[in-house]
Copies of this chain bind each other. A is one copy, B any other.
């Protein structure tokens, strides 16, 4: 069972909408993909035959476990490609998103895997000065640092400053998966999501772990939340 590009698009759209809104309607999918509702309907019949979704007349659309697995694969491919284009190649975010949408359908699993490895190996050192100056991007989850410099051009700089990311600010990395973007950081008690490319412009002086800020401590808190 191989999915056509179109069917992959539909499946991915359903998956993404489900992540945000709990109920997935025909309308939502049509809107997201810029197609008519009858088109979505046709695709749903197709996907249901392949056992990837469940859809009763006039009801919400649901992913089957198989569908979820498949959609996750597609979404991962998409993310990998987007990250590669924007972080390494330097394509602007919007274009990267657009092209990733198209490339994701034609990249084989093997190549995706190799590309992932490649990115993991190269993304840490895209800037020559990264060996000298540490940035927010380099922080491990749980680690902290104090912003000493904002090395971003005009608009991006303004955006970061508006978010309260000024020199002197204490930043704590919350979540930073190898290919995760955006990353999550904590500033003055509130959580912020910023792009990796932005985090990389925030030069920091390292702030060694303080009472209440060690890795072990945080892990403890995390498990309490369950």
Contact = CB atoms under 8 A, between A and B. Distances in A.
A60 interface: no
Contacts of A103: 103, 106-107
A95 B110 contact: yes
A102 interface: yes
Contact of A89 (B85, B102, B115): B115
A91 B110 contact: yes
A209 interface: no
A88 B106 CA distance: 19
B106 A106 contact: yes
Nearest to A107: B99
Contact of A90 (B99, B102, B118): B118
Nearest to A122: B122
A90 B120 CA distance: 14
A99 B77 CA distance: 14
Secondary structure of the A side of the interface? Answer: helix
A114 B99 contact: no
Contacts of A108: 95, 98-99
B106 A91 contact: no
A111 interface: yes
Interface string A111-128: 100110110001000000
Given A91-B114, A95-B108, 8 more contacts: A90-B118, A91-B110, A91-B111, A98-B108, A99-B106, A99-B108, A102-B106, A103-B107
Interface of A: 85, 88-91, 95, 98-99, 102-103, 106-108, 110-111, 114-115, 117-118, 122
Closest 3 CB pairs of A and B: A102-B106, A89-B118, A89-B114
